[in-house]
Amino acid sequence: MRILAVGDIVSSDGREYIYNNLGKIRRKYNIDYCIANGENTALTNGITVDIARNLIDCGVDVITMGNHTFSNKESGIVLNDFERVIRPVNYPPETEGEGYFVEDLGNVRIGVINAMGRVNMEPLDCPFRETEKALAKIKDKADIIVIDFHCETSSEKLAFAHYFDGKASVIFGTHTHIQTADAQILSGGTGYISDLGMTGVRDSVLGVKKELIMEMYYTRKHVRFEKAEGEVWFSGCIFDVDEKTGKTTNVERLYFSDKEII
């Protein structure tokens, strides 16, 4: 099975890129299943009902979230109405939605878990323990398990990946919007990359106008963020997973503009 993981989709430019090009990307790379991080898809972060529906309609099978899960007033509605949109499993159980999703594709069953780190992030429940609980619930229902670990530091991501090596087929990091060069297969057969990167305007600082961020750091003043304008680049990773063993056999990073899609 070829699983495509898409890096954080940022604002209208990023999501329009996905609407217009995901089908082409899936066909070009013979993708069987697609998971994308959508916590920044709305203008004010978070996600809306229309965005969730459009992403699913254009070929995203599961949408994961992160620390901006509830930054939009519609996010709770989305999580209740769309089972394919999941939020970090270590949010309090009273919050809307679920932290995992399982789908039976007929020839193989795939489970997706979303978790969030705690270093320089919100003080949520332990992602290690809450992911263990989720794995216990779905391990007999899924042949392939994929985890999106939304996290700030590479050390926490790596520790998490090694802890669950062999227990998940794929673990990828999101949140930093910068693609890392450490795509690999861990000793237990788990495919891994510390961060998928960002699908958004390349000439920016994490999708925001670079001039505003430079001013913020130079003057230490608070500035109102505005989305950047310019060419959008796609960032993500393909994981080839053996359907019988549930282990990753190959990892391929992707980073390109729409000009490179045939």
23 token code pair: 């089908």
48 token code pair: 């809306």
CA distances to 107, 144, 187 from 248, in Å:
17, 10, 11
Give the single-character DSSP code of 121: S
Is 68 tagged catalytic? Answer: yes
Please report how many Cα atoms fall inside a 13 Å half-sphere around the Cα of residue 185, on the Cβ side.
Answer: 15
CA distance 204 to 168: 34
Please report how the helices 154-163 and 127-138 are oriented relative to each other, as an axis angle in degrees rounded to 10. 30
Residues near 96 by beta carbon (within 8 Å), at least 6 away in sequence: 75, 76, 77, 79, 80, 87
Nearest-CA neighbor of 22 among 60, 48, 71? 60
Active-site residue identified among 68, 150, 175, 177: 68
Residues designated catalytic: 68
